[in-house]
């Protein structure tokens, strides 16, 4: 199984990297650019074959290491 995990800052948390990208895009001539938020995508190959167990493993990985749940939210997609 494969776990695709998308981690992003929660709304209301300042995103200085997103702000820098927004400013750069405006400077490059993209006037229609609004707020930019930056996150991370993590793909993990799992040996688990049960989708529910794979999701549970990915949830635990996010809580323990992959996401700072105080300021970040995450979404997990499990693929065969």
The domains of the chain are located at 2-79
pLDDT of residue 15: 98
Residue 61 confidence (pLDDT): 98
**Residue 45, Cα to own-chain centre: how many angstroms?**
17
| Mean pLDDT, each 10-residue run in order, the chain (80 residues) | 98 97 98 96 98 98 98 97
Residue 55, pLDDT score: 98
Model-level pTM? Answer: 0.88
| Class level of CATH domain 2-79 | alpha beta
Burial of 15 per CB tally in 10 Å (0-12, 13-18, 19+): middle
pLDDT at 75 (0 to 100): 98
């Amino acid at each position: 199984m494969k776990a695709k995990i998308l981690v992003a800052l929660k709304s209301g948390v300042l995103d200085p990297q997103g702000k820098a990208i927004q400013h750069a895009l405006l400077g490059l001539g993209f006037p229609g650019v609004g707020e930019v938020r930056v996150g991370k995508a993590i793909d993990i190959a799992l040996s688990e074959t049960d989708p529910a167990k794979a999701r549970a493993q990915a949830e635990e990985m996010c809580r323990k290491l992959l996401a700072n749940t105080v300021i970040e939210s995450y979404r997990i997609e499990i693929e065969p």
